[in-house]
Amino acid sequence: MMLDLSDGARLHYLASGDTAKPALLLWHGARCTLRQWDHVIEELEHTFYVVRFDIRGAGQSIGADDSAYDFETYAEDVEQLLAHLNIERCHIWSMAWGSRAALAFCALKPMRVISAALFDLSIGQADVEAQIAGNKAAREKQKAAGYIALSPPAGWNEHLDDETLKKSLGAAAKADLHALAKLIHLPVLIATGDHDPNLESSRTAQALMSNAALVEMTDVGHGSVIMQPDLCTKTFLNFVRSHV
């Protein structure tokens, strides 16, 4: 489904489940699409009306000709999506880069959010090489423990336009995430793998928020929802059920 935004951009989204249930908004990671959530949707639909989307410039979403790629614009995009679906407030579950954008949304539009689960959150500079090394070590431990990894969902990293994808990811560098984190007082779960170099920054973010809990997931690297969808879903549901 496509939503025409007020500035001419188009937002690709999927909504599934019972509209009478609490709304859950899913925010994908860097270079991912809404398809990254495919392995967890069925479980989530037992509790939620689930909405997922591609940020403007990524996946099947299309930016306007002079599209602004910043978290303020993304917050307005999501507000228009929620209004289109007649959703006043929602829970949020995000991963990695998407947790930066979701953090900004929580700070800028707190009246729209009931609770937020920010997985793999970093409010600092990403260390991609350390993420790759951490993922390798985590997968080796998972294999030794007998865990059989699922393949990533089909289409999880397929995009219409590589140039607008690059622009869309530049939003994080324009935001003061430390300052935004201090504005968040709603219930927050930060969940990060013990093999994800973002863990240190996750601890910093938790300390800046007034109502945040931190869970360290064992033998999990960066991109946790793709790496360990079952564990991540369990971790998310353990948190959010007390706020539904």
- Whole-angstrom Cα distance, residue 24 to residue 10? 21
Q: At what angle do helices 71-84 and 97-108 cross, to 10 degrees?
A: 70
CA 39 to chain CA centroid, nearest Å: 15
Mean pLDDT of 215-221: 98
CA 83 to chain centre: 20
Three-class SS state of 62: strand
Beta-strand relationship, 212-217 and 113-119: unpaired
pLDDT value of residue 64: 86
Does the pLDDT of residue 67 top 90, yes or no? no
Does residue 65 have a pLDDT over 90?
Answer: no
Render pLDDT for 110-162 as a digit per residue (tens, 0 to 9).
Answer: 999 999 999 999 999 989 999 999 999 999 999 999 999 999 999 999 999 99
* pLDDT, tens only, 69-125: 999 999 999 999 999 999 999 999 999 999 999 999 999 999 999 999 999 999 999
Q: Does an H or E element contain 164, and which?
A: helix 162-169
Element (H, E) at 215: strand 212-217
* pLDDT tens per residue, range 43-64: 999 999 999 999 999 999 999 8
Instruction: Identify any residues that bridge with 205 across adjacent strands, giving them in sequence order.
Output: none
pLDDT of res. 139: 95
pLDDT number for residue 68: 84
Q: Any idea which architecture 2-240 has in CATH?
A: 3-Layer(aba) Sandwich (3.40)
For 199-203, which contacts have Cβ atoms below 8 Å and span 24 or more sequence positions?
201/121, 201/122, 201/123, 201/124, 202/120, 202/121, 202/122
Q: With residue 13 as reference, give the H or E element that holds it.
A: strand 10-16
Q: What is the pLDDT of residues 159-204, one digit of tens each?
A: 999 999 999 999 999 999 999 999 999 999 999 999 999 999 999 9
Domain ranges of the chain: 2-240
